[in-house]
């Protein structure tokens, strides 16, 4: 399997994790600070992995 494809799959997995954490808010308190921070870190990692995967395929 090509390393670019592996990076794209990892980026999609991380993007799904960020979306899952973002949607898991409490009805009374809303999103907590660490929850937002972790979602942003996962989103940044997903974008980097996806961009690297695209660049490896090109």
Average pLDDT over residues 7-12: 95
pLDDT tens digit sequence for 21-54? 988 877 777 788 888 899 999 999 999 999 999 9
Query: Total structural domains in the chain?
Result: 1
pTM: 0.84
Quick check: 14 and 40 in contact, CB under 8 A? Answer: no
Residue among 13, 17, 1, 10 at smallest CA distance from 53: 10
Does residue 10 surpass a pLDDT of 80? yes
């Amino acid at each position: 399997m090509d390393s670019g494809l592996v990076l794209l799959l990892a980026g999609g997995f991380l993007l799904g994790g960020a979306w899952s954490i973002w949607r898991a808010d409490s009805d009374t308190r809303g999103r907590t600070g660490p929850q937002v921070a972790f979602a942003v870190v996962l989103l940044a990692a997903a974008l980097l992995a996806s961009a690297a995967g695209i660049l490896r395929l090109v």
